[in-house]
Structures are given as C-alpha cells and as structure tokens.
Structure 1
Amino acid sequence: MLALRRASNPLRYHIPYSAVARASCAKSDMLWSNLKHEHWGYEINGNTVEFSVLPKTFSHGTSFSTVPSLGIRNFSLQAGAKASDNEVDDGFSDLDSPPETNTTGTLVDKEDDDRFISEQEISRDEPELYSAEVADSSLGLSDSKTQSNGEKDPRRKSLTSPLFKVVMEAPRHSITAALNKWVEEGNSLGRDEISMTLWHLRKRRFYQKALQFMEWLEANKRLNFVERDYGSHLDLVAKVHGLQKAEKYINMIPESFRGEIIYRTFLANSVSTGNVKKSEEVFNKIKDHGLPITTFSCNQLLLLYKRVDRQKIADVLMMMEKENIKPSHFTYRLLIDTKGRTNDITGMEQIVERMKAGGMEPDLATQAMIANHYIFGGLNDKAEATLKEMEGDDIKGNRNACKALLPLYAALGKAEDVGRIWKVCEADPRLDECLAAIEAWGKVGLVEDAEKVFENMLKTWKKLSSKCYNALLKVYANHKLLSKGKDLAKRMPDNGCRIGPLTWDALVKLYVEAGEVAKADSILQKAAQLNQIRPLYSSYMAILNKYAKRGDIHNAEKIFHKLKQTGYTTRMTQYRLLLEAYINAKSPAYGFRERMKADNMLPNKQVAAQLAAVDAFKKTNISELLD
C-alpha cells in the first residue's frame, strides 16, 4: 500500500444503489480538500491521517471516534479467508462459508435493497443443492478435500453421521435423553462423529439443536474443549439467543481459552446483526487484550462499513496498512463490489489492478462480479470481454465457468450464447447449472426452455428441493404468468418440498407482479403466522414498493411497522418508499422528520427532496378556512 496524498481533483461521487446519505461528505468538501488513499482510491475522513473507525485508541496511539448505530441485520459473512499466512479458518457455521453471491457473482448483503435485495437468507436447507461448505473445523472437521481448481470436493457432502440422525429425529425437549441413550448403547462419540454431526446441523441451519448438542457435550464433559470448541459454542449461542447472552457466555469461558478466535467469532456475529457500536467495541477488546488484529477482523469492519458508512472503508484500509495487515482475496472482492455498486467503474478497475499487482488473480466469482457491474453500468463491450476471459480457450474444459456465464450472457440479452453454454452442460447437467439455466432462459424471455430444463431435472433427480421450484416460480413472476405459478406451487407439497421463506418470497413476487398485491400481503402474513418463521426482507419490500406506488398509505405503514416488528432494522429505503406512498396520495406526512431522528436516520438528498414534497401538502390557516 502506498502513502496518502492530497487529491489534486475533487472526488467524483456516484449515486449508490442503496442511496447512502452523502450529506456529511458534501459538508467536508466545503471545509477542506478531500484526502484520498492513493492505493485504494477511497476518501480518508477529515484532514489528518488519523483514523475514525473505533471508539478507543489503537496500539499506535491513533484516536478513533464512534459512528451512529445505524446497522442492518444478517450480512453475508466472510470467514473463509485467511487472516494471515499462519491463520487457520474459523470454522463456525456461516463464518466458514464463502461470502454469499448472487448468480452473477456479486456479493449479496442480507436485506440489501434495490437490485441487490437478498433472496438467500435461508439458503442451506438441502445439502444436495448447495456447494458452500460450512464445516466445523473447530472440532477437527478441517480436512475438507480441495480440488485443483480451488473448489471443495463434492464427495465431502456424501458423508453421513448416524449420530446426526439421532439428534435430528429426537424432539427438542428430548435431545438429552436421546444422546444419553446413544452413549449407553455403547456407540462411538469421538471427535470425528461429533464434528460430522455439528457439520450437518449447521449446514441445515438447525442452530438450536446444534446448541443443545454442544451444551450436552460441555455439561457431560464428553469432549475435551479447546478454544475452537468454545468458539463454536459461542457462535451458536449468538445465533440462537443473541449477542447479550453470547457475551455472558464469553465470561464463562476459562480465561486461558479467551483468545483471538473467541473475540473474532463474537465480532462476526456482532457485524451480522448490524450492531455498529458492539462491533467496534469488540474490535477494540481484541486490541486491548493484546490479541492479533487479523485480516479476518478487518474484513468484518469493511463488511459492516460497506453498508452503513462507506466513508469509513478508507479508515480501515489505512489501519491495515499501518499495521502491515495484508488484504485477502475477500478484502479485494469487498472493495471491487463497493466500487461497482456506486458505479465507479474506473475505481473498480483500479482495485482489480491492485489485486493483480498483489499477486492475486481474480477467480471466476470475482470475474462474474466485475462483468455484472459492467453490464449494469452499460459497458457491454467490457462485460463481453470479461465473459470471454472467463470462458477461456475451451469452455468444455472450463466447465466450472458455465454456471456464472449463463445468467451473465442472459443479462446481455444474448440468447444464442445462453444456448451455446447450456449445450456444454445439457448432456450431463449439474443442479447448480440447471438453476442458472432456468434463470437465464427466463431473462431472455424463453420461458418454455426454462420449463424444459425444470422437467428434465425432475426426470433426472426425481425429488427436487424447493429451491428448484422457486427458480421457475421467479421466472413465472417476472413474466406475470400467475396461473402457471400457482399450478407449480401446488405441485410442491405433493413432491415433499419444504415450503419456507424462499418459496414465500417467490409467491409474493408472483402475485405482486400480477398486480394482486393484497393477495401477496395475505400470503405472507398467513405464512409467517402459521410457521412462526420470519419472512425474507425482500418479501416485505416487494409489497411495500407496490403499496407506495399506489399511494396506499395505510397498508404501506402497516408493512413498515411489520418490518420493525419482525426484527429488521430500519433502513433508508423503507423511509423512501413510505414517503413515496404519501407523495402519491398527495397527503402530508406529519412528524416524519422526528420519526427518522428517533431511528438515527439522517435524510439523504433523495429523502430530503421527498420530505420537502410532503411539506408542500400541508394546509395553511387560510387554506383550512377556505376548505
């Protein structure tokens, strides 16, 4: 990384997809010239080289300041990246997964808005469909085979655990009894068996059962706990009971085992809930205890600030440079995606060059991300060049690229190329390629081809996961084929499919696109009440968006309140859509500024203009008399 220098030209700002407020940035422009990190191209806060990331003092004596707790929930966490040359993977559930991406390789933030709204919050239900490994390496399950292309060996997924079946089949209230019986019958309870059981539980997101299993192991001293085991237990406590109880559990861990793994696990869970204050506090605790500040921990801050305060990204990068913390592949992906989302294509390309100069070549997922940002920015020639680079000289010999290429060629409107790539896969298709093909054929308007892929999947695999049905449901929704969508949804229970938030999301969008927003609203509310599971953020937002366009203030307010009630942190997009409802209804929004202030939300330019518009609807004394 190079030293800072004062930028010779003012920074060029682009409107980000999530409409992040730039008021403070504009103010600083008037006070002094912006500083820019030469190496990364990110603005440094203020007019000194002091950081402003954290509330306390770092080891070099640099001061930090806090930021408002604006957070969001459920980020896609990255933890698979190496924190340093000698740092091993965390291995705690989501923390061991690669960062979630959409089918075009772009990093997906949970609850993201606009074109990046996540549809993958509940995404690891069926093991046969998901390639993301979530091995609990803290319990010795860190020997996942890796192929020469860097991907996990699919054979890893075929391993089963008899103990896992026992835990799964036991009701929650009798898991302890089932485990005691297992031991009494003389069955094996070695570390390998424990690891496999936890791996399967985490993969399916049965966190509560996994926690019960860990509690039983610890209480009955069935495992000689080391720091990684305590870290795994901590991660489950945070997921099931929240940060407060997780913090209490940390105090119960023997002091000799409260190392860097414990605190970075807690940090990642704090970031996942969007709790800025707690995340910064935990980061400082790592420093206060004299523990190493790793790339992993810095990446967590980057992930957090990418969503809540992008200006602070440069501060983290400066800290990494000052402490000689090397960026990982995921660090670069975060920065590339951040630049791409703000349509700063030049900045994105500069990050790619820095990545290559640092000895890291973009992998397929990163290339797909870059191509996706080119497409959204209207740079189709550059996108095509990137796709050709992904293909290589022989696409048949580079089949791993097909899954990403299918939807990207579709996004460019190139049906012929979609067909050409699909031919490579069609004779012996993989599930993920089929899902990508369904999406791609839908994008280019060839619904019958998407249906053909789906029917062939049924013949090949007999029983399909709900994710396969959801893929086709989304195609029907995008083409307003309500009748076909309803028929497909009715087939799901008959085929033993799990109907969960992803299916609800697809059905909601199916009805919303067909203009039946009230029915979509009803489906969502009934599903949530009957199943006691929180629907996806994007499901609520699809309905809120439609109510806003209709000027339906009552129902828009209802959805806005429901988002809060179900635990989703208030976002600027929600306020923007709610204001849109008032504007379209030509009705004043009394006390709106106060509502935003109560949620620690500062209006950005777009919302400020909306607030001015609803102010114009307020009646004056004379208008009330005349009325």
Structure 2
Amino acid sequence: MGSGVAMSALRRTATLSARSHSIRNIVACGCFNGSELSRNSLVQEKGNFHLCSGILDYFSLSKSYSSRCSNFARSFLWPRNLSSHVGAKLSEKDNDSEDRFSELDEPAEDMVEPDERVENKEFETEEGILGGESDSVGNRSLGKRVESPLSMAIIRAPRHSLNIVLNKWVEDGNPLGQGAISHAMLILRKSRVYAKALQFIEWLEENKRIDFLERDYASHLDLVCKLYGFQKAENYLQKIPVSLQGEVVYRTLLTNCVLANNVRKAEEVFNKIKDLGLPITKFTCNQLLVLYKRVDQKKIADVLVMMEKENIKPSLLTYRLLVDNKGRASDIVGMEKIIDTMKDEGLKPDLTIQGMAVKYYSLAGLNEKAEAVLKDMEGDHIQENHVARKVLLPLYAALGKAEDVGRIWEICKSSQRLDECLTAIEAWGKLGNVEKAEEVFENMIKVWTKVSAKHYVALLNVYANNKLLSKGKDFAKRMSDDGCHIGPATWDALVKLYVEAGELEKAASILQKASQRTEDKPLFVSYMTVFEKYSKKGDIHNAEKIFQRLRQAGYAGRLKPYQYLLQAYINAKKPAYGFRDRMKADNMFPNKAMIAQLIAADALIKSKISDLLD
C-alpha cells in the first residue's frame, strides 16, 4: 500500500460527530485560518488551500471541530504553550487511573514534555537528535553503557581545570580519535553533564582536534541551546559556516524548540527549513506531531496534510504518536483503526504501541482486550525475550497485577540484567512493595560490583513515592558513601522525598543548593514540584522566588510556571496587577485554562477596587 493510499485509509478512520459532507469545510477552516505553519508550509495556490486527498479525516476530529470557523481563527491568534497533557478534561477519578500508568505515558520521542520525570531518551542523545529517528525507539538499547576513560576523566575534573586535564590527556598520548570523542560525548549526554560536554566540544573546536562537520556543529548548537536558551543558540548558529548550516543543524534547533513546547519558535525554525530548501524529513514531521499533540491538536491535521503532499510515508514513530493521541481522547475505535492501517502498511505494532493499547484498553474498562494484548506481548518464548520482559514488568505493575510482576521477575532473575533489575525496582515500588524493591536492589549490588547512580535513584524514588523519609535520607547518605554521582536525577528524587513528607522548606533548600552547582542544573520538574506546593498554599513570596529561579536556570518560555504563579495569587486572594502585561512582555500567550485563571484574577482586582470605593 503506497503512502497516499495509507493516508487515505487513515483519513477515513475518524469523523466522530461531524457530518461527512461538511468535514472538509470544518477541517479546512480549523487547520488553516491564521496558522503560521499552515500559511507558509502547506499546499497553497492562488490564495486557496487545497485539501490533499488522503489525510484529514484520519486524525480524530475532536468536538471542537464542530465549532464555527471564526472560533478556529481566534484559537490561532492565541498560540498555545501548554506543558500539560492535552485531551478531554479528566475527573479526579480519571486522573487517578491515569497515574497508574505513569511509566507508560510516552514512547521515547514523545517524551518531550519538560515537566515529565521520565525524560525523552531519543532527544537526550546525539544519536537521537542528530542521527534521525529510529524505528525502535522505546525498545532500542544502546547496550551496556561502558564508561570510557575519557568520559570519566571529564566528569571527575573540576570545570575550572577541565581544559588542563584535556591538554594533559593528549600530552600523555591517550587516544582522541573520532570514536573516543563520540563515545565520551554520548556518556556525558546520558549523564546530563551538559556544561562539561559543552566545554569539551569548545575545547575540541578551539584546538582543532577534529575537522568539524555539520553533525559536530549541531551537537555544539544543541548544548548551547540546552544550557543558555534559543537566543544564544541562534547567535552560535551565525558562527557556523553557511555550507554546514544544513538540515541536521536546523533539525537540532527544532528539536529543542519542541522540548521547550515553544510553538512560535518551532514554527519559525520549520519555516526556515522550508525557505532554505532543506529536506523535510520524517524526523522533522514527527517533531511537529509531538509538539502539536501536546499543545494544539487541531494543527496535527496540518502536518499530516504536509506529509501527504511531500510524499512522506508515516513511520513507526508517527503511528505511535497518533495511536497515543487516540487513546488519550478515549477513542478506542479510532486507536484500533490506526493500528489496523499500520498493519496494512506492513508495519507490525511494536511493544511500545502494544503497551499503549494495554493502557488505554484498561482505562476504558476493556480488561479482556488488555489481557489479550499482554498475552500476545509475552508470546511463547518470554524466557528468551529480554525486551518484552522489560516492558511487561511496568505494564503489569501499572495494572496492579503483583502476581504477574513476580512471575516475570522470576524469569528475569536467571539473567540478572541491570536494566531488568532497574525496571523491577520501579515495578515493585509502583505496587507499594518496598521490601521487594529493596531485595532486587541488594541482590543486584551483590551480582554487579559497580552500578550507575540511576539504579540507586530508582530505589530512592521508591522511598519518595511511598513517603518513607527516614529510609530515603539513610539511602541518600549511602549513595554518597558508595561514590555515586549526585546530579539532577538524585536532586529530583530528594526534592520529591521531602515534598511528599511535608517538608517543603527542606525541599526548597535542597533545590536552591543544587541550583548553585556550576556543572549541572536541577531538572525543570524539580522546580515545578516545589512551585506547585507554594502555588496551592497561596505563598506568593516563595512562588515568585521559584519563578525567578526557573528563569535564571534557563527554563523560560514555558507556560506552566505562569499558571502556577497566577494560581498562587488567586489562592492567596491577592490581585495580580499587570500579570497580562507581564506575560505579553515575555511573549507568552494564555491557553484556554489560563484564560479562566486570568478572569478569576481580574475578579480579585475588581473586588479590591470596589472595596476602596465603598
């Protein structure tokens, strides 16, 4: 089946309540009115947009598509910068159900939301950003991460003397070929030691240790963007030789825009790619799908139109994104039809998509279907299928199936693989069985003479999630005594540990001390964990402090901090004078939920004025 036929099949899957004869008009209005991406990037001729033959009906038209065209025009005049999950509003009960599946929320490249603790593996490595997409994201393994001597020398060196250490490395005759450099950079990125990774690549460039190619410049650009934001990254972009400002460089910049949920900047970068005549790839399209799936689902149709026009065949990752979006919208029929279309295209649903199906079947109360998929995932040779075992452990834990977690873990114990141990610790922790999680950890320590900090952090998170402050504090000391690298993931677990125990000030103190470290910075979600509590308490003073620290840490351009800050004023019943102007100055625009907040905040200002007049 060709890509055009596939898109046609996808279009036919979901018209929902819209009447078939009006779909084209509704979607055309919704997709094209005022959309920056649409105006510059899609099929355009003599001022009219032509709907491509095979795509629009594919993507589930939400109930909002039944609104009049003018409503869509208004929605595009206010670009969304959501960092929360998109979809139908869930009740508290529904949210509790979703929480059971927190480990399953996103396949790797869809984990772009900066406030998710489970970070985007595909974006966090050079291979993911610079090497295009993999069709096994989520199942792909980089193998056992062997710490290279070069990466360890860089990690251990103080930043102020890193250049001296690197010069000494060369003087001592140590290898510094492309292989050693690439391996070291991968380890530094996986360890999130971005500041030292940037210093390393700057040293390589300044000392002309390698001939920089586009991929190397893109890596440098990515690190600048991660540490210092888009403006600094765009400044660095001007220093890259024009001949090497290619698709990989702009793809890297686009990816960082998506990670920050920055719609305006992402659309600017995409249109630049198009204006320069650079190829529009599956990777690029999938970045836009990731972004719009989170912040503006109506624009997903724009991207699908473009893919059909450019004859870009949906990849496995494309299907993952769309299956997940259907599931989040509770459109089980639509989800199944997407999977059927995928099969018709000769693409077999991978474990990630099957895991999504299990999750959404269960949330819809279709337990028999969920269990049928789980059975299919296990197959007849689970003893030999390491990848399936690793996926099944969190799935069974999310479903509350302790017996099945125990059964799968018994199979895993014979091989004692580190990644399976890590998943088992998390699975037992999710089930609230702390003793089993501890048992897995202690046995792992006996078998493996050295494990990375992330395995310690997994158990620390179990203590945090189960509100075991005393055990968590003792274990954190053990981590230090065992020589673990204490970095952002550990700080995040400690912040959560103290917040869950009700010691908010201690959590804020840990966060403040961590932010003063020069080699790493705390995760966005660590700030937000503390920020949310101050917001709920109506503690404006501390909420403002966290807001400023987020900006200082380079986490500007995200809407959720403004939402939390405004809610702090509302909960304190204090007027937030000039808040709209404050957002406008920062080039931030409210989404629907925040507009409701602003109305509530305006009511407080009016009430205050009325009190004065009375």
| CA deviation map 1:46-85 (0-9, x unaligned) | 387997525635575578998656547999xxxxxxxxxx
Instruction: Spell out, residue by residue over 1:424-464, the C-alpha distance to the aligned partner (whole angstroms, 9 max, x if none).
Output: 11233222222222222222232211221122122222444
What residue is the counterpart of 1:362 in the other structure?
349
Are the aligned partners of 2:43 and 2:309 in contact in 1 as well (CA < 8 Å)?
A: no
The structural deviation recorded for 1:574 is 4.4
2:467 aligned to which of 461, 474, 480 = 480
- After superposition, the Cα gap between the structure-2 partners of 1:585 and 1:274, relative to the gap in structure 1 and judged at 3 Å, is closer
Give 1:315 deviation, angstroms.
Answer: 0.3
- Conserved in 2, the CA contact under 8 Å of 1:106 and 1:372? no
Q: What's the CA shift for 1:535?
A: 2.2
Identity of aligned residues (%): 55
CA separation of 1:54 and 1:567: change in aligned 2, threshold 3 A:
farther
User: Is 1:265 aligned with 2:272?
Assistant: no
1:567 Cα offset (Å): 3.2
2:460 touches 2:475 (CA, 8 Å); kept in 1? yes
Q: SS of the residue aligned with 2:467? A: coil
Partners of 2:425 and 2:459 within 8 A in 1 = yes
Matches within 5 A, 1:334-349: 334-349=321-336
- Quote the residue 1:90 is aligned against: none
* Greater fraction helix: 2
Aligned match of 1:615: 603
- 1:329 is displaced (CA, Å) by 1.3
Structure 1 residue 10 corresponds to structure 2 residue 8: no
The one-letter amino acid of 1:316's match is: V
The runs of 5 or more residues in structure 2 that have no matched partner are 1-6, 50-72, 86-100
Segments of 5+ residues of structure 1 without an aligned counterpart are 13-31, 38-42, 76-100, 125-130
Aligned partner of 1:119 in structure 2 is 117
Aligned to 1:398: 385
CA distance in 1, matches of 2:111, 2:405: 29
SS at structure 1 position matched to 2:383 = helix
Distance 1:303 1:557 in 2: 30
Change (3 A) 1:320 1:450: same
Among 404, 429, 444, the alignment partner of 1:457 is 444
1:96 aligns with: none
Report the residue type matching 1:118 in the other structure.
E
Map 1:198-213; keep pairs closer than 5 Å: 198-213=185-200
For 1:23, the equivalent position in structure 2 comes to none
What is residue 46 of structure 1 aligned with on the other side?
Answer: 30
SS of alignment partner, residue 53 of structure 1 = helix
1:212-231 equivalences in 2 (<5 Å): 212-231=199-218
Which of 489, 497, 502 pairs up with 1:515?
A: 502
1:495 aligns with 2:482: yes
- Rounded to whole Å, the distance in 2 between the matches of 1:210 and 1:57 is 35
Separation of aligned partners in 2, 1:293 and 1:622: 56
- The match for 1:154 is 143
TM-score normalised by the chain length of structure 1? 0.75
CA contact (8 A) 1:504 1:524 kept: yes
Q: Name 1:78's counterpart in structure 2.
A: none
Equivalent position of 1:504 in the other structure: 491
What letter corresponds to residue 117 of structure 2 in structure 1?
E
Residue 411 of structure 1 pairs with residue 398 of structure 2: yes
In the TM superposition, what is the alpha-carbon distance from 1:587 to its structure 2 partner?
A: 5.4
Letter in structure 2 aligned against 1:2: S
Q: What are the superposed Cα offsets for residues 560-604 of structure 1, whole Å, 9 maximum, x if unpaired?
A: 444344333465554555555555555565555555555533352
1:128: which partner in 2? none
Q: CA deviation at 1:502?
A: 1.8
Which range moved further: 405-414 or 310-319? 405-414
- Cα offsets for 1:199-228 (capped at 9, x unmatched): 444443444444444444444544344433
Instruction: Please report how far the alpha carbon of residue 301 of structure 1 lies from its aligned counterpart in structure 2 after TM superposition.
Output: 1.6
Correspondence list, 1:449-598, <5 A: 449-529=436-516, 533-569=520-556, 573-574=560-561, 576-578=563-565, 581=568, 584-585=571-572
Cα 1:8–1:379 change in 2 (3 A) is closer
Please name the residue that 1:97 is paired with: none
Number of residue-to-residue matches in the alignment: 561
TM-score, structure 2 length as denominator?
Answer: 0.76
Change over 3 Å in CA distance of 1:509–1:375 after alignment to 2? farther
CA shift in 2, pair 1:614/1:484, >3 Å = farther
Counterpart residue number, 1:104: 104
Q: How far apart, CA to CA, are the structure 2 residues paired with 1:306 and 1:71?
A: 12
The 1:487–1:379 alpha-carbon spacing in structure 2 relative to 1, beyond 3 Å, is farther
Q: Match of 1:154, SS?
A: coil
Matched residue, 1:94: none
Quote the residue 2:589 is aligned against. 601
In structure 2, C-alpha distance between the alignment counterparts of 1:158 and 1:532, rounded to whole Å: 22
CA distance in 1, matches of 2:460, 2:152: 32
- 1:98-118 Cα offsets, whole Å, 9 max, x none, are xxx9743623766848xxx41
Name the aligned partner's letter for residue 330 of structure 1.
L
Equivalent residue letter for 2:143: P
For 1:165 and 1:560, the matched residues in 2 are separated by 34
1:313 Cα deviation from its structure 2 partner: 1.1
